[in-house]
Chain A
Amino acid sequence: MTADERVHLINGTFLSLSPHRHVFQDLQKKFGDRMIAPPISELGFCGLATGAAMAGLRPIVDLSTGSFIYEAWPQVANEAANAFSMSGGQTRVPVVFHLFHGLRGGGAAQHSGSPQAMLWNVPGLEIALPSSPRDVKGLFKTAVASDNPTIFVDHIRLLDIRGEVPESDKPIPFGVADIKRAGGDVTLIATSYTVQVCLGAAQKLAKEGIEVEVVDPRTLVPFDLATILSSVEKTHRVVIADETHQSCGVAAEIAARIAETGFDKLKTRIRRVSTLDVPVPYSPPLEAHIGPTESRIMEAVRAALI
């Protein structure tokens, strides 16, 4: 916000639900005049942000919980995404929609939404999914700088992850996958918090002599298929772990692309470890069971080696 006064923050409850909201309070002191806490009308303030972006601002909107974006869907998917193309290239919409997706413990069905699979089907939106402190800072800078409407998919469970963050404010470009852990036996592709789960699984599998390569695409649009294919060329075995529901989920599109373009590189079928096709139950043990858990990931990796 210091770099560009056109950046405005809409919806001041940024981190308010989590114990980390003190972080947000000092932002308030510095940039108070460029932050508004609108009423609970997602349709209204996402429309306001989209309109403001058309008129030259670069607003960042926080929808807090992923499931709440459905209320603003017409403004995000119909207006923001289409404006540039429908106007024949005359109207830009540099807006960032930030949300926390996925299973957070007790969120139940209406607070654990992961809308990025549906949004990947919307031409005109860029989608970024950070999985580490370094990525979140670098990708966020690119998102704000981008002239396209961007969905910034965050995860509550990432807030406590610690990691080195370079002092330089060099943005991380979209469309560049990141090999989080090198390995020769199985290519394990994951996004957002699931990357951390996969790194845990990879460590345990290493003890069993299985070297897993953890690949994090970091953005769905644009999507770095090349890096993934070069990894598949090495391992010939693929497992994809992701928190969106299985049917038409993020893993489905990734699997389809690899099956189409990497057919000759595969020695076995691509296995997906996604959230089951059930509404998210409240009860903690049920919820803990349905997501891409460490055990389910390890099981899939072992199966890929047989």
Chain B
Amino acid sequence: MPEQTYLDAIRAALEEELRRDSAVYIFGEDVALGGPFGVTKGLAETFGVHRLVNTPISEATVMGITIGAASAGLRPVVEIMFIDFITLAMDQLVNHAAKLHYMSGGQLSIPLTVRIQCGISGAMGAHHSQSLEAWLAHVPGLKVVMPANPADAKGLLKSAIRDDNPVVFIEHRGLYRTKGEVPDGETAVPIGKAAVLRQGEQITIVALSSMAGPALAAAKELEADGISAEVIDPRTISPLDIETIASSVKKTGRMIVVHEAVEQGGIGAEIVARIQREAFYYLDSPIARVAAPFAPVPASPTLENQFLPSKDKIVEAARVALTHG
């Protein structure tokens, strides 16, 4: 299987879908020129500038336009440069995109994909490094996916574009350069299905997006101490695939949840609340969350590193869980 970077895998998905369906259009700032991170480089040359639409810096209205276009037969993919700027389009996303199908009693459908970059990469401070996926996972009517590797990035983006509902596709900027095997051709990864990255017996580590790497590293280190850890990547945080996680916890009896977003009000809370309901009697130790502290992202690189959950913090949390009960 050919190896691709996370970024190239995303471009490949966009290219395949643009070719497959003439209703697919890509909107965003500078997308016809390759986009701020080069994800759409070269696409305008092949598909024409009328399908890769450069927009002014008006996130609220551009989001509204793509929702309107989606309700009128197109299948738009709109790029919001940083997830921090989703704040400007909250009203259109929350009050319109997510609700029109339901409020119209099924008459309208909004086949829209919202591509967003998230996460810490390169000391950019509080307005360019946040992880705000929990806000969106709270909105009924939106689906939210967060790929952790190139294969899932391509597969989930294809599924998102083909889905007839508004899907928020959150790609982590820090993963752009990571490489991985990507099967070519039709490889749609289903939305709403978690992936078991590593089998294990004694503890379940649920790790989201950028945290999959550190979690796998932590699992390796734990193995050296004779502790077998199972690592699960939810891949989709709305709707959450609780069955896969629950069946793993029923096997291991212990769980920790890891994500880059701040802990308070994060997606981890929902996973913990659901798992303690589904597998209460199987739990041998309290479920722990390893996430960012409740503070804006600092700019200074050292503070930023301290801010991020790390392999060591995961290993330490796993050890605490194993000593309990």
Contacts and interface: CB of A to CB of B under 8 A. Distances in A.
Given A248-B269, A263-B286, A70 B90 contact: yes
A178 interface: no
A25 interface: no
Contacts of B98: 279
Interface in B81-134: 84-85, 87-88, 90-91, 94-95, 98-99, 102-103, 125-127, 132, 134
A227 interface: no
A251 B87 CA distance: 23
Contacts of B88: 73-74
A82 B264 CA distance: 16
A253 B141 CA distance: 21
8 shortest A-B CB distances, which residue pairs?
A: A121-B265, A263-B286, A256-B272, A269-B280, A255-B273, A70-B90, A74-B87, A256-B269
10 contacts: A70-B90, A85-B295, A245-B139, A248-B266, A248-B269, A249-B138, A252-B269, A253-B265, A255-B273, A278-B102
Contacts of B39: none
A256 B273 contact: yes
A124 B294 CA distance: 8
B137 interface: yes
Given A81-B296, A263-B286, A70 B95 contact: yes
Nearest to A255: B273
A67 B286 CA distance: 36
Given A245-B140, A247-B137, A263-B285, A73 B87 contact: yes
A12 to B, nearest CB: 22
Interface of B: 60, 84-85, 87-88, 90-91, 94-95, 98-99, 102-103, 125-127, 132, 134-135, 137-141, 238, 240, 261-262, 264-270, 272-273, 276-277, 280, 283, 285-289, 294-296, 298-299
Given A71-B60, A78-B84, A269-B277, 5 more contacts: A70-B90, A113-B95, A260-B289, A261-B286, A264-B286
A70 B94 contact: yes
B295 to A, nearest CB: 5
A107 B196 CA distance: 43
A77 B132 CA distance: 11
Interface string A20-51: 00000000000000000000000000000000
A52 B195 CA distance: 49
What is the interface of chain B mostly: helix, strand, loop, or mixed?
A: mixed
Interface residues of A, number: 51
A220 to B, nearest CB: 9
Contacts of A77: 87
A121 B90 contact: no
Given A123-B294, A269-B276, A279-B140, A247 B240 contact: yes
A270 interface: yes
Interface in A223-279: 244-245, 247-249, 251-253, 255-257, 259-261, 263-264, 266, 268-272, 276-279
Contact of A86 (B87, B125, B137, B285): B125
Determine which residue in A248, A264, A269, A282 has the highest number of CB atoms from chain B within 10 A of its CB, and name it: A248
A78 B87 CA distance: 8
A118 interface: yes
Contacts of A67: 94-95
A247 B192 CA distance: 14
Contact of A117 (B240, B265, B285, B298): B265
A121 B135 contact: yes
Contacts of A266: 280
Contact of B126 (A73, A82, A110, A259): A82
Contacts of B288: 260
Contacts of B287: 256, 259-260, 263
A279 B138 contact: no
Contacts of A124: 295-296
A247 B138 contact: yes
Interface string A130-145: 0000000000000000
A109 interface: yes
Contact of B134 (A70, A248, A260): A248
B263 to A, nearest CB: 9
Contacts of B134: 118, 121, 248
B283 A120 contact: no
B170 to A, nearest CB: 14
A117 B137 CA distance: 11
Nearest to A75: B87
Nearest to A280: B99
A247 B270 contact: yes
A120 B138 CA distance: 12
A221 B288 CA distance: 21
Given A123-B262, A123-B296, A248 B87 contact: no
A74 B90 CA distance: 9
A82 B84 CA distance: 12
Contacts of A247: 137-138, 140, 238, 240, 270
Contacts of A82: 126-127, 296
A108 interface: yes
A261 B320 CA distance: 13
A251 B265 CA distance: 10
A127 to B, nearest CB: 10
